[in-house]
Each structure stands twice: as C-alpha cells, then as structure tokens.
Amino acid sequence: MSSLNKKFPRLLPEPIRKGMKVADLIDTAFKAYNGGRLAEACRLFTQKMIAGDGTVGMSLTGALTPAGLGRAAIVPLMQAGFVRWIISTGANLYHDLHFGLGMNLFAGSPFLNDVDLRRDGVIRIYDVLFDYDVLLDTDAFVRQAIQGPEFQHTMATDEFHYLLGKYVHEREKKLGIKETSVLSAAYQYGVPIFTSSPGDSSIGMNVAAMALRDSKLLIDVNRDVNQTAAIVYAAKSSGSTSSVFILGGGSPKNFMLQTEPQIQEVMGIEERGHDYFLQCTDARPDTGGLSGATPGEAVSWGKIDPENLPDCVVCYADSTITLPLITSYALSKAKPRKLKRLYHQRDALYAELRKQYFKHGKVEKIEHRTDLTKPKRGRSGRSVVGTSRNGKTT
C-alpha cells in the first residue's frame, strides 16, 4: 500500500449530476490546481474565518461593482455578518453609486469600437457599458451630498462613506429599490468602509472640486491608518481572530495587511499577525509587486501569524469567478451571524488603541547614520566623527 494513502485523500471525484448545488459541486469536483485552491478557499472562509466571532476584513480591487458583484455577492456577505469591514478602491465605490441611484449598466462586449462608443457617449469597462450621463449624474449626486453640513469638517474615509451611504439609502427608498448598493448596505449594517487612496477616483475628484468652492471637507488619512489598526487590535485582544479576504491586490491589500505592522512595529504593542489569509488574484509573485506577494512573504513582515500559515490560501483566478462561488458556498454552509456594527464602535476602538499605544509605544530620539542633523565640523571644514560619553557616534 502506498504511503500516500496515510497522508492524502484519494483523487476520485463523483460524477457531476443534474441539479447539483454549488457547494456540492465545489466539494465534489474541485480537487486540483486552482479548482482545488478555490475549494480550500471556500472551506477556509466558512469553517475558520467566519467561525465563532472572527472578524473578517475584505479588500476590493478591480472593477467588481460595475459587474454587479456588489449587489450579487458583497452585500449578501455583509448582510449575513460574514464581512465586518472593507477597504476598497474609490472606483468600486463610485460605480457602486450607479446601482443605488437606480441607473442602468449593460452587459456588452469587449470587442466594440471605442471611437464609435466615444462618439455615441457610451463608456466601456471591458464588456460593461453605460451612458456618459451616468457619470455626470453620479458626480452631481456626490457634489450635492457633500454640501450638507455634516460633511463640513475633517473626517476619516469610514465616516465619509457612512454619511454618503445614508444619502444613497434615502435615494433607494424614494426609488423603491433595496439591497443594490454596497455603500447603502454598509450604512444599514454598520460596516466601516475605507479607501486607501481617497483622491484616486471620481468621488475624490468631486471632493477636490468642491474644495475650490470653500468646502470644509478634508480626509484624515491618519485616522484611517489608526482606525483600521484599532479594528484588528480589538478583534485580536478580545481573544477572537482577524482574517483578511483579499480580492485582487493593489493598495487596498497593503492597507489591510499593514494594520499588523502598525500595531507591532510602529506602536510597539505585542501581536503576531492576522490569523487567516485568503486571496483571489491573477498577479504573480515573481514580479515583486505587492499584489502578487504571498502569505509566506507577509509572515516575514509580521502581517500574518506564522503558526497559521498552512491555513492561508491563494487562489489564482478572476475575482468575478471566485467571489460568487465563495459567497454561495458560505451562505449555504454557515448560518448568518449577529451583526457586529463596528462603525458604531469606532470611537471606542480608537480610544482603546490609543491607550495601548501610550502604554507600550516609545518616541525617542535615536542617533543613527541616517540622522538628518548636520555633522559637527572641525577647523578644516571636514566632518568630525567621534564618540560621546554614552558610546554613540557623534
């Protein structure tokens, strides 16, 4: 008998049958290669990441909301209490607004003539099409909303998106539509949404334009960095788990993972890294980009707990394929969880992290070869290198 029998299950899937459910198909037929990784991803998410009171953060890159995956997959995950906080590109949140405002997007073709589309006032995102007026009307909505008095101060992006989501939710109610917008759902379920590059989207462009009209709205990126770290610290310090569910890569991936180095390296608070790592990406690790960086590499930075590295999964597949399958699997295998409503705890979480930083963190002057102070010079004008009484180079 082969020694493999004692270590690995036999690869002999049952034939696919008519009417098979998604979860059964994944468990039965997805056995090897990235199909196998997708099955592992589904089980990791369902059996460990959302088990108990674990906190799952999701990062979004790539044009997911224009493809309808906000309504189809992301909103159901928030509604079920499976995803408790989000970092997204601004573009995904901007295009999410179209759905909450009742605007139409269409399934087209990637092989259309873009010169003709430009002439006809049609925008193309690969095979997603919509009228140019959709952009103009969405811009007008954002500008109108942020003129409100509640926007006239400095705020983090989670507060900004919460307030904007309130306006979207009100518009949905007037239009008689529901569960269409990620921003509206986040407002209803208290899910904080951050963006790592606030100026890098049409939302940021409209905020910048209104600044020329003396809008007092400013984005506090420092609060974003500390607030996201506070969410992770709260999960870990309570004895629960912190997991990352990364769709694509890019800046949101790093912004989510850097929460652990912020806690450990910068603030000096003892921590071991996120517990579970799940990424769906088409980025390769050998190009050196963060999008393709593996969980093993993240361990070296303190971003991932090394003890849980075997439970980290990277599925090299398009998020428009993997996200609906993972969502369907989770909803069929796990019961909805009580909503955590982390947005409404934001000030308390922030205050606790600040308290721990003051307790453990140190700010002191360190003499180093990269010190920016000018070196002392002798009579000859040359730099003088010596040793002070404490033994440090001067």
pLDDT digits (tens, 9 = 90+) for 58-104: 999 999 999 999 999 999 999 999 999 999 999 999 999 999 999 99
pLDDT at 5 over 80: yes
Q: What pLDDT is recorded for position 380? A: 42
Residue 224: which of 249, 189, 199 has the closest Cα? Answer: 199
Q: What angle do CA 251, 253, 256 make, to 5 degrees?
A: 105
Q: What pLDDT is recorded for position 388? A: 35
Mean pLDDT of the chain: 92
Residue whose pair of structure tokens reads 């905020």 in the numeric block? 207
φ/ψ of 380, rounded to 5, equals: -75, -10
Comparing 147-156, 175-184, 246-255, 361-370, which segment has the lowest mean pLDDT? 361-370
Q: What pLDDT is recorded for position 143? A: 98
Q: What pLDDT is recorded for position 254? A: 96
Q: What pLDDT is recorded for position 50? A: 97
Q: Which residues are catalytic?
A: 303
Secondary element (H or E) of residue 305: none
**What share of the chain in percent tops pLDDT 70?**
92
Beta strand pairing status for 106-107 and 122-125? unpaired
pLDDT at 382 over 70: no
Q: What pLDDT is recorded for position 371? A: 59
Cβ distance 172 to 180 under 8 Å? yes
Q: What pLDDT is recorded for position 310? A: 87
φ/ψ of 236, rounded to 5, equals: -75, -40
pLDDT at 370 over 70: no
Buried b / exposed e along 88-105 (16+ C-beta atoms within 10 A): bbbbbbbbbbbbbbebeb
pLDDT at 376 over 70: no
Got the DSSP string for 149-170? GGGSSEE-HHHHHHHHHHHHHH
322 CB-side CA count, 13 A: 27
Task: State both tokens at 286.
Answer: 């050998």
